[in-house]
Amino acid sequence: MLKRVALLGFMAITLVGCAAKTPVSSEKPITKAEPISATVSGAFQVDPVASVVRWSGKKILVPTKHTGTISVTEGELVLEKGALKSGSFTLDMATIADEDQKPGMKEKLEGHLKSADFFDVVKFPTAALVIESAKALEGNEYQLSGKLTIKGVTQPVEFKATATLEGRILKTHATIEIDRTLWNVKYGSGKFFEGLGDKVIDDKIGFDISLVANPK
């Protein structure tokens, strides 16, 4: 997807000077369809049950990668004359879940991610992404700019996304990669801690965001 964030992802979905643009990276969205009809305008309410944010993170020196999900609690997407105009959504950081670990290790990892070492969900229970501008590209693709808030820190992000209308249901998809340390998630970062050896954790966190929304 794009520029590298120096998105929740969580969550982030998480996903530190606000004034400077932070690099964001995302893979090219796979969804391809015709543009939405120019007769369609209005707000769409995000369906938390049908929407999902997936996260991924890994260590650097050993082949250890973890993946999981963060629940969407609410959100809104706005179309104007068939084009995605703006939007926002909120993540419940206490729902950070791991998908790849065995029972016991799964709960241990989830507890660590929720702790102050990572996302400190007691103090910062939510994360949010606000889309401030959208530039239509080819087909159903957009270049989006907005603000991602994780752990009370807000940073600008830019990334690509797709938007399709299936009947009356609006679906959007984006993948974002951020530098977690810009959101004060520094645990295991080689930029801030020495002597970590094979325990150093990649500063990059990936978020795969799929939102489903219904007309208000």
Residue 74 within a domain: yes
Q: Is residue 20 part of a domain?
A: no
Q: What is the pLDDT of residue 13?
A: 36
pLDDT-derived band at 39, boundaries 50, 70, 90: confident
The dihedral sign for the CA sequence 169, 172, 173, 176: negative
Range of the domain at 86: 42-215
Mean pLDDT confidence for 172-192: 92
* pLDDT in the model for residue 65: 86
> Does residue 112 lie within any of the structural domains?
yes
For the chain, what is the mean pLDDT? 85
| Residue 17 within a domain | no
DSSP string, 57-106: EEBSSS--EEEEEEEEEEEEEEEETTEEEEEEEEEEEEEEEESSSPTTHH
Is it the case that residue 20 has pLDDT exceeding 80?
no
Query: Residue 49's pLDDT is what?
Result: 97
For the chain, percent of residues with pLDDT exceeding 70: 81
- pLDDT greater than 80 at residue 163: yes
pLDDT band at 15 (very low <50, low <70, confident <90, very high): very low
CA distance 78 to 46: 10
pLDDT (tens digit, 9 = 90+) per residue, 61-96?
777 888 999 999 999 999 999 999 999 999 999 999
Which residues of 99-168 form beta strands (DSSP E)? 126-136, 141-150, 153-166
Domain presence at residue 124: yes
Residue 191: band (very low, low, confident or very high) from pLDDT cuts 50, 70, 90: confident
- How sure is the predictor about 200, in pLDDT bands with cuts at 50, 70 and 90? confident
Would you say residue 1 lies in a domain? no
Residue 16 resides in a domain: no
> What is the CATH classification number for the domain harbouring 152?
2.40.128.110
Report pLDDT for 34: 62
Q: Which residue has the higher pLDDT, 6 or 154?
A: 154
Position 139 scores a pLDDT of 87
Stretch among 100-104, 142-146, 148-152 having the lowest mean pLDDT = 100-104
Q: How many domains does the chain have?
A: 1
More confident residue, 98 or 32: 98
pLDDT of residue 62: 75
pLDDT band at 55 (very low <50, low <70, confident <90, very high): very high
Q: Tell me if 165 is assigned to some domain.
A: yes
